[in-house]
Amino acid sequence: MIIILSNNYMASSEAIGSQVRLTFTTKFATFTPAQIENILTRKGFSVGQGRISNALMPQMPSILVPMFSKDDINIYINQPANQISYLILNTVNLEEIYKEVIEVLSSLNIISDVIANISFSCITRKKAKIDPKKKMTDLINKELLKKMSEDLGFELSVTSLRLAYSFPFDEGIQVILEPLSTSPIDQYFLNIAYQTLNFNDFNSFIKKFGETMIGKIIEEVEKIA
């Protein structure tokens, strides 16, 4: 667990509603540009371009790649990185949408044997009953907090909470919880990330995910006296 202390609130990324990103990286190319365009346009997606982070060189600026859009779904195709990424602009009916994702992946020959990595990321905001900064500060030993505040000459509080299965984060799950930058006294910003090499594990995670998982995380934090 990583806890960030500060004497002043550090703004989180803004979250407008909820959005989910699903990224599938394969060991080698399994489809051609013509194949994916044919499959997705038949399903009602329009063709365009969009920017995503450079998977081969993350420190470099974002790159322009083919993008397919329909309703609340954008699909980015990064062929040099053997990567297909879904940006879903809400978490409503995610499991139903995921069934369509699996259909597309199967038609592109993206199956368990060719998977190099699968990642999930969800950012959302959630109403808080009590000031999030106060609730998160209650998680840390009060004597330690008081001593550190005295030593540094600032009244410190917890402004970010990170829970993870591993560090550095390269597999399993990671949860980041902060006050929402645009409404820090009554809303949380929540980022849930998950990575795996196993398609079955990923399928199970999607089934467990949703407003229920988000609500349970906030509920546990709110229980702290």
- Give the gyration radius of the chain's Cα atoms: 20
The pLDDT value given to residue 16:
42
The pLDDT value given to residue 55:
65
| Mean pLDDT, range 101-109, rounded to an integer | 95
How does residue 211 score in pLDDT terms, banded at 50, 70 and 90? low
Give residue-wise pLDDT tens across range 50-88.
998 876 666 778 889 999 999 999 999 999 999 999 999
**pLDDT of 223 above 90:** no
| Mean pLDDT, range 42-51, rounded to an integer | 95
What pTM did the predictor assign? 0.84
CA distance 33 to 222: 48
Provide the domain limits for residue 55. Answer: 2-222
**pLDDT of 175 above 50:** yes
Domain count, the chain: 1
* Position with higher pLDDT, 211 vs 95: 95
Which three-class secondary structure string do you get for the chain?
CEEEEECCCCCCCCCCCCEEEEEEEECCCCCCHHHHHHHHHHCCCEEEEEEECCCCCCCCCCEEEEEEEECCEEEEEEHHHCEEEEEECCCCCHHHHHHHHHHHHHHCCCCHHHEEEEEEEEEEEEECCCCHHHHHHCCCCHHHHHHHHHHHCCCCEEEEEEEECCCCCCCEEEEEEEECCCCCCCEEEEEEEEEECCHHHHHHHHHHCCHHHHHHHHHHHHCCC
The pLDDT value given to residue 11:
42
pLDDT above 90 coverage of the chain, percent: 50
**pLDDT of 12 above 60:** no
**pLDDT of 105 above 80:** yes
Partners of 70 in the β-ladder: 73
